[in-house]
Structure 1
Amino acid sequence: MLTILIPAYNEEETIKATIESLRTIPEVQKICVVDDGSKDNTFLEAKKADPDVLIKSEGNLGKGGALNRLIEYVDTPFVGMVDADLGQSAVELRKLISPVLNGNYDLSIAGFPKKKKGGLGITMKVAKKGTKLKTGLDFDFPLSGQRVMSLDVFKACTPFAQGFGVETFMNLIVAKKKYRFIEVDTNMSHRYTANDFKGYVHRGRQCLAILSQLARGVK
């Protein structure tokens, strides 16, 4: 009934638990993972959890490019996207499923508990305000990569935007096609970007990708 897509890059500590947690959700029919050129043991750890599809990219394609490697494996009426670093909290995806499966919404997006440190404060504000100006829609969690959608939404949003533009591109599609969406509070948790030089560079690249996608829009 539901195919889950997981892009993973250097997530050896969490990928196995993420897959195993998703397996406990009855509606999950297929789990597809792509190791996006990891430098660690992500592929081997994912293999231990025995996903239905596991492929390895020789080079790092970025989130959008990695997800695009999995498009051909979707053959269910509903599709989910999950980040590889959720670990055991991935089971919270179950809260996103019923709003879409019961036909009330076309897309559900996971909301995360308010974080205490680190993270994407400025980037989140850019995404929220930029999306609001571009589409008129208010998203509380415009960058959340944990999503469940109908097959129609999935087809409209693929191929996925490259790099960090995946969620922003999807939000623009939602606005253009007037899909019904809901943001659902969850207790999901993942690794936050640190407040160091590497973290600032990461957030800077993400901001640029978001602004670029907003400026480009969708056809």
Structure 2
Amino acid sequence: MLTPDDFIRALDWMGTVVFALSGVLIARRLQMDGFGLLVLASVTAIGGGTIRDLVLGIRPVFWVTQSHYLVLIVVTCALAIPLARLLSRAKVAWLLLHADALGLATFTAIGANKALSVGAPAIVAVGMGVLTGVGGGVIRDVLAREVPMVLCREVYATACIAGGIVLTAVHAWTGQSLPAMLGGMLTTWLIRLAALRWHWHLPTFGGLDPDESR
């Protein structure tokens, strides 16, 4: 019978595969070689979780003692390369955005739940959820010489914050990890998909003339 821990582990593996796939798709778009593709997939899949564990003082970081995460990344790369070649640029762009949204939601929930499991307060758990969700993508985009989505007008980190708040609230109410994670994950995912569908953006200060602010 599938236990809550088994389900959480399955979500973590799914997030690893999905984020690795998003790294592969960007590497394919930039015409990187095999090593560059593997690096981009790896930092996307485990970068956020690595930073999270370091901040929380968890040693060693998760993938050092659980090498199946690295195996998942390599297998994902091997399977995704021939499939990506069959897709048009438009389909790659669509798949990248939606794979990234699913990975974002999954890792936000994983990160917030892990912080709660080591006794972190709710506000720290929300921050760790955001860090886990966006950290790998930020590293990926920097290596790809692109402006990270979290620093643009995209409703991205905002979706993580909303999901983290829902997760910590449900966890405080029920005392159970699984419904809290599902609630947080669903919240982040739906907000991100809605932002993609209806082109939601955050306000910026880009149009403000410095002289006008005086």
Q: Same fold by TM-score, threshold 0.5 exceeded?
A: no
Q: Which has the higher strand share?
A: 1
TM-score of the two chains, using structure 2 as the length reference: 0.33
Give TM-score, length-normalised by structure 1.
0.32
Q: Higher helix fraction: Structure 1 or Structure 2?
A: 2
- The higher radius of gyration belongs to 2
